[in-house]
Amino acid sequence: MKVGIDAISFDVAKLHLPIHELAKARGIEAAKLEKGLGLLKMTFPDVHQDTVVFGANALTKLILEQNINLNEISRIYVGTESSIDSSKPIASFLVSLMEQKFGQGCLSHCDAVDFTFACIGGVDAMQNCMDFVRLYPEKKAIVVTCDIAKYDLNSTGEYTQGAGALAMLITSNPSIIAFENHWATSTKGVFDFFKPYRSIAKSSITGSDNNEDWFSSLETEIEIHKDQPVFDGQYSNQCYMDRTREAYFLFKKLKNSEETIYNSWASIVMHLPYSFQGRRMLTEIYALDSKEIEMDVQSLDYQNKLKEIGKSEAYQNFVTEKLQPAEIASSLIGNLYTGSVFMGLLSTLSHFYANDTPIEGNVFGFLAYGSGSKSKVFEGVVQSNWRAALEKTQLFETLEKSHKIDFTTYEKLHKKEVKKSVCFPKKEWVLDLIEKENPNLIGARYYKWIE
């Protein structure tokens, strides 16, 4: 039985800062970011947007565009690493907002939960939902990935920021892509990228050592959670390579194949923190599986040989043919964390759609990664109705309408100094208010639909 993605929709931040303007402001050579990393634009959320807003917009589009009967949906599972609450999942917000728009009780029968494992949480949610549909072929599920990739100003991750969401309908006999039931996983607990709870002495805030009540906090230390991560870029790249390599060759073992696996993939979709990350990380797998080199990570000759292979005409042709279609959207959006690999899929499909390229029956390879760290490698077959299912998506047309902001506005948005929306919302969800008075609802977030 075939199981996979029957329909897909998206929502990304409508504001963007051109990368060359960020480069100029930070004293970085623009070519290093544009030609070296493949970055062109960096999307950033407006005042009225958070992860729930992006997820709700993508989900609403999916329901309306596909005329989905919500009584047929058994699960709404969310992949995110940008949760707004340590207890209440984004999935429960989405259920509430869909009932607000489509009718009370329309999703009361629906299971809802969040999956968190950095950027691979959305893949985890999808795999779980597919297992469910395989058990109950008449059931349908929806996977939503929603994230805001925010980094500290002047940090080495700043130019990879992005924000948005995707929503995917998971069914039997899907229209877009059916995934084979071979999943290879490599996991190792590391600190390459994480978002810890940090603390600061209350006395440093109040100026008193008497441990006085401060906003209902009686502890001597105040816990702070930041959207921005603690990370080691070079170490994270190595973890990405290690986990992905291990998962890839485990996948080859699962397939019981002696052939070069990637040769059977018409396109390769990878997690892309920045547009050219995949092509940089895949060089080792490319060389090892073609047996151009034997693995010897600690050897300087090994590393130099990988660099040579990465610059070779054969590898560049490989990148153009198999990787480049997935990079297009990433260069215009930035990092979507859990949504990155799925945006890569949508970018690939949209590229072939725009070029009227027949890809029915093509096998796509997927190399997903999440810091902390875990990789999953799997593959899917493009279905015969993929074009019809993609007709209303209009990815590239939507990205062309993005609103350009200047560097000053970007920094003010980053610091939360802007109080009014830059772009007036229309036909979308907005964060309406956060409760500050009612002691039983302090921090509760309320949303509304703007026509």
Write out the DSSP string of 144-212.
EEEEEE---TTSTTGGG-EEEEEEEEEEES-SSEEE-S--EEEE----SEE--EEEEEHHHHHS-SS--
pLDDT at 415: 98
Task: State whether CATH 1.20.1250.20 applies to domain 3-192+232-450.
Answer: no
Report yes or no: 418 and 406 within 8 Å, Cβ to Cβ.
no
pLDDT at 299: 81
Give average pLDDT by consecutive 10-residue segment, the chain, 451 residues.
97 98 98 97 98 98 97 98 96 98 97 98 98 97 98 97 98 98 97 95 91 89 93 95 98 96 98 97 96 83 92 97 98 98 98 98 98 98 97 97 98 97 97 96 97 95
Q: Please, which residues have CB within 8 angstroms of residue 312's CB and are 6 or more apart in sequence?
A: none
pLDDT at 297: 72
DSSP 67: T
Domain with CATH 3.40.47.10 in the chain: 3-192+232-450
Q: Where are the beta strands (DSSP E) in 283-392?
A: 363-370, 374-382
pLDDT at 296: 79
pLDDT at 295: 86
Q: Is 377 left (phi over 0), alpha (psi -120 to 50) or beta?
A: beta
**Cβ neighbours, 10 Å, residue 336:** 33
pLDDT at 212: 87
Angle, alpha carbons 342-424-57 (nearest 5°): 30
pLDDT at 102: 98
Q: What rounded mean pLDDT belongs to the chain?
A: 96
pTM score, whole prediction:
0.97
Sign, CA torsion 183/188/192/193: positive
Q: Identify how many contiguous H helices and E strands the chain contains and give both numbers.
A: 16, 19
φ, ψ of residue 165 in degrees (nearest 5): -155, 160
